[in-house]
Amino acid sequence: SQTIHQWPATLVQPVGSPLSLECTVEGTSNPNLYWYRQAAGRGLQLLFYSVGIGQISSEVPQNLSASRPQDRQFILSSKKLLLSDSGFYLCAWSWTDYEQYFGPGTRLTVT
């Protein structure tokens, strides 16, 4: 069976500090991978998605970036965090763009 891991579960970072969130998927190969952010009252906002190694599509302009160095690894990064980057970050995978399966999420608080 497939499992998806995210870490860390919670993170408190000062404004201006860098960010690296990691997501890995087990039990499947060549999945589509996604990063979402859930901010208060704003639903699920798609940030990035990837259909293969090194292939990243950005949905929303921001100071975040994503990379996929390996088939089942998806990393969300920032060089300098803003207060507005606070939120609940979710990684997801799918074989198609139908059912997506989400990880447990990372709660990021920028202070």
Contacting residues toward another protein, per CB under 8 A: 34, 41-44, 46, 49, 59, 88, 90, 92, 96-105, 107
Closer residue to another protein in complex, CB, 49/74: 49
Closer residue to another protein in complex, CB, 80/88: 88
Spell 53-90 as b/e; 16+ CB within 10 A means b: eeebeeeeeeebebbbeeebebbbebeebeeebbbebb
Q: How far is the CB of 12 from another protein (least distance, A)?
A: 15
Closer residue to another protein in complex, CB, 44/53: 44
